[in-house]
C-alpha cells in the first residue's frame, strides 16, 4: 500500500510538471518587433518562444488582418498556443510550400530555399532558370490555372503552407484548401505603395524559414544599392520627358503619379508627364489626351506587350506620331523572358527595384553609369 501511494504521488507530480510546462503563461507583449522600414502590409513580433506574423490589408480596400503563430521545431513540443488566437499555427522552417505568383519565386531563391517549392499554377510563367530546372525535373508540380487551382493535385502534395494573393478576398479554392487543413497566407506585396516596400517582403519569407538575418542582409543590400542609384541620378540637371504605357481596347493605361512605377521614374530623376496625378490603380485616358501631352516626349517606357517598333506600328499607325517612336527611343522589358515565355520583369522586378532603377537611369542618363548594361529593359528595334 505504501509503494502504491508513492507511485500515485509520483504520477501526480509528473503530470503537474508537464501541465506547467505546456500551459505556462505566455508574454502579453513581444520581446522584440522585427524592423520593417517601408512595407505596411505585414509585421513580425518576436515573443522569444514563438513569433507572430501579421498580414494587414492584403488586397485593395481590405480591412482584414490575419495573424499566424510561427513556432520552431525545437520549441513546438514545449509550448501550447490557443488556436483561436490565430488564423493558423505553423512549424518553421517550412519544408514543403506552394506559391501562386511568380513574384513569390524570388523570395524563395534569394534565401536559397527554392527546393521547398512543390507546386505552382501556370508553371510556364516561371522564368527563373533555377526554378525552371526544378519544374523540368518534375519536382514542382503543375497546379493548373491560378483562378482554379487543381486542389486534387495540391492535396496530394500535402504542402505545409500555401502562399496566395487576393484581389478581393473571395477565393473558394483557398477556402477549400484551408478546410482540408492546409494553411493559406495571403501575400500582399503587390499592394505596397513604393518599390522598396515591395522588396521588403523578402522578410516575410525569411521568418517562414527561420532566415530572418539572411533576409535582412539581402534587403539591406538592395536598399543601399537603390538609394545610391537614386542619389547619383539626383545630381543631373537635364531631365528627359517620359511617356509610359499604351492602349488596350481604345484606352491608354499608364501609371498614376503616386504609383510605385511613377516613384521609380521620380527617383531616376526624369520628367514623367503624369507625375502630378494621384489615386490608386492606373490612369485610363483616350489617345487624343495622351498625344496632346506626350507627342514630344523624349523617351517612351514600357509600351504594353509590344516587342518591336514594327509591332507597335502594326497595332496602331497613330503611335508613329510620337517623337519617341520617330527617334527610336522606345524601351521595354517584354523581350527578356524565360525558356517557356515567362517575362523576367514580372517575376523579379518587384524584388529587385535597385536593378529597375539602374535600368531607368541608364536609359535616361546614360552618361551616369557607362559600364552598366540594362538588366530588364532594352531598346526596341
Q: Tell me what percent of the residues of the chain surpass a pLDDT of 90.
A: 82
Q: Which residues pair with 253 in a beta bridge?
A: 246, 284
Instruction: Kindly report, residue by residue over 299-315, the tens digit of the pLDDT.
Output: 999 999 999 999 999 99
The rounded distance, in Å, linking the Cα atoms of 285 and 247 is 9
pLDDT score at 15: 43
67 Rama class: left (phi>0) / alpha (psi -120 to 50) / beta:
beta
pLDDT score at 169: 75
pLDDT at residue 77 tops 60: yes
pLDDT at residue 147 tops 80: no
Q: What is the mean pLDDT of residues 344-366?
A: 97
- Residue in 378, 349, 305 with CA at minimum distance from that of residue 101: 349
pLDDT score at 7: 41
**Domain 235-379 adopts which CATH fold?**
Rossmann fold (3.40.50)
Q: Which residues pair with 246 in a beta bridge?
A: 253
- Domain 29-222 and domain 235-379 have a common topology: yes
pLDDT score at 281: 80
pLDDT score at 31: 67
pLDDT score at 63: 84
Decide yes or no: CATH 3.30.420.10 for domain 29-222: no
DSSP-derived 3-state class of residue 146: coil
pLDDT score at 14: 41
pTM equals 0.90
pLDDT at residue 102 tops 50: yes
pLDDT score at 196: 98
Q: Tell me what percent of the residues of the chain surpass a pLDDT of 70.
A: 92
The rounded distance, in Å, linking the Cα atoms of 374 and 372 is 6
Q: What is the mean pLDDT of residues 311-326?
A: 96
Please tell me whether the peptide bond between 93 and the residue prior to it is cis, using omega within 30 degrees of 0. Answer: yes
Q: What's the mean per-residue pLDDT of the chain?
A: 91
Instruction: Kindly report, residue by residue over 255-300, the tens digit of the pLDDT.
Output: 999 999 999 999 999 999 999 999 878 999 999 999 999 999 999 9
* Distance set, CA 182 to CA 108, 154, 185, 229, 328 (Å): 19, 10, 10, 42, 51
Which has more confidence, 170 or 350?
Answer: 350
Domain boundaries, the chain: 29-222, 235-379
pLDDT at residue 354 tops 60: yes
pLDDT at residue 42 tops 70: yes
Amino acid at each position: 500500500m505504501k509503494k502504491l501511494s508513492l507511485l500515485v504521488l509520483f504520477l501526480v507530480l509528473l503530470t503537474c510538471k508537464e501541465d506547467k510546462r505546456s500551459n505556462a503563461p505566455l508574454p502579453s507583449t513581444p520581446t522584440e518587433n522585427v524592423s520593417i522600414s517601408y512595407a505596411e502590409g505585414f509585421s513580425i513580433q518576436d515573443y522569444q518562444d514563438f513569433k507572430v506574423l501579421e498580414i494587414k490589408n492584403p488586397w485593395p480596400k481590405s480591412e482584414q488582418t490575419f495573424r499566424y503563430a510561427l513556432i520552431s521545431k525545437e520549441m513546438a513540443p514545449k509550448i501550447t498556443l490557443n488556436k483561436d488566437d490565430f488564423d493558423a499555427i505553423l512549424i518553421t522552417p517550412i519544408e514543403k510550400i506552394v506559391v501562386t505568383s511568380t513574384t513569390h519565386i524570388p523570395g524563395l531563391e534569394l534565401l536559397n530555399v527554392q527546393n521547398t517549392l512543390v507546386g505552382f499554377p501556370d508553371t510556364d510563367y516561371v522564368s527563373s532558370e533555377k526554378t525552371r530546372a526544378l519544374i523540368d525535373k518534375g519536382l514542382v508540380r503543375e497546379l493548373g490555372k491560378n483562378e482554379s487551382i487543381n486542389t486534387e493535385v495540391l492535396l496530394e502534395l500535402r504542402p505545409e503552407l500555401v502562399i496566395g494573393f487576393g484581389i478581393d478576398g473571395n477565393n473558394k479554392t483557398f477556402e477549400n484548401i484551408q478546410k482540408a487543413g492546409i494553411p493559406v497566407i495571403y501575400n500582399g506585396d503587390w499592394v505596397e505603395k513604393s518599390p522598396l516596400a515591395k522588396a521588403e517582403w523578402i522578410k516575410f519569407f525569411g521568418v517562414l524559414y527561420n532566415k530572418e538575418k539572411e533576409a535582412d542582409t539581402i534587403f539591406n543590400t538592395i536598399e543601399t544599392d537603390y538609394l545610391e542609384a537614386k542619389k547619383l541620378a539626383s545630381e543631373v540637371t537635364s531631365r528627359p520627358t517620359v511617356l509610359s504605357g499604351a492602349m488596350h481596347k481604345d484606352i491608354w493605361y499608364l501609371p498614376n503619379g503616386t504609383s510605385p512605377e511613377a516613384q521609380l521614374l521620380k527617383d531616376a530623376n526624369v520628367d514623367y508627364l503624369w507625375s502630378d496625378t494621384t489615386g490608386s490603380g492606373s490612369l485610363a485616358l483616350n489617345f487624343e489626351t495622351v498625344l496632346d501631352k506626350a507627342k514630344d516626349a523624349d523617351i517612351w517606357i514600357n509600351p504594353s506587350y509590344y516587342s518591336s517598333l514594327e509591332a507597335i506600328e502594326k497595332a496602331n499607325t497613330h503611335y508613329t506620331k510620337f517623337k519617341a517612336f520617330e527617334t527610336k527611343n522606345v524601351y521595354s522589358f517584354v523581350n527578356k523572358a524565360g525558356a517557356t515565355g515567362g517575362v523576367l520583369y514580372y517575376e523579379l522586378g518587384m524584388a529587385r527595384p535597385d536593378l529597375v532603377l539602374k535600368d531607368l537611369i541608364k536609359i535616361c542618363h546614360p552618361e551616369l553609369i557607362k559600364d552598366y548594361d540594362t538588366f530588364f529593359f532594352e531598346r526596341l528595334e
